[in-house]
Amino acid sequence: MGNKAANGRAKWQFATGFGRSARGSWTVLVHPPYSPDLAPTDYHSFSDKQRSHEGTDFKTISDVENCLVSYFASKKPEFLRTGTMSLQNRWKNVVNNETKYY
């Protein structure tokens, strides 16, 4: 069943281990695995990967793996750090605007 409950709806996710490791500097919020306001495909590296591989015809899993290894090797550490840090501001926007998830 994966992340699906018996009724076919996605289960809600908790980040319990993360909250303990942050030592009180983060608030762990309950949220569904998908939110239109924070769609995973909108995250920094996903859209860049999509643009850079658009039109590529992968014949094997090995082709995909090699392409992804090359993609990440070509990026400076700041690229992923900048994208990851922007998620905090995007999350704050959702919370501050009282965006509904359901």
Written as tens digits, the pLDDT of the chain (102 aa) is 444 455 555 554 444 555 445 556 666 666 555 555 555 555 666 667 777 777 888 899 998 888 888 888 888 888 878 877 777 777 777 777 765 544
How far from chain centre, in Å, is Cα 101? 16
For tokens 């709806």, what's the residue? Answer: 9
pLDDT of residue 80: 76
pLDDT of residue 2: 46
Structure tokens at 96: 């501050």
Q: Which residues touch 24 (CB under 8 Å, ≥6 apart)? A: none
Structure tokens at 62: 């090995």
Q: Give, for 47, the enclosing helix (H) or strand (E).
A: helix 44-53
Q: Give, for 72, the enclosing helix (H) or strand (E).
A: helix 61-73
pLDDT of residue 32: 54
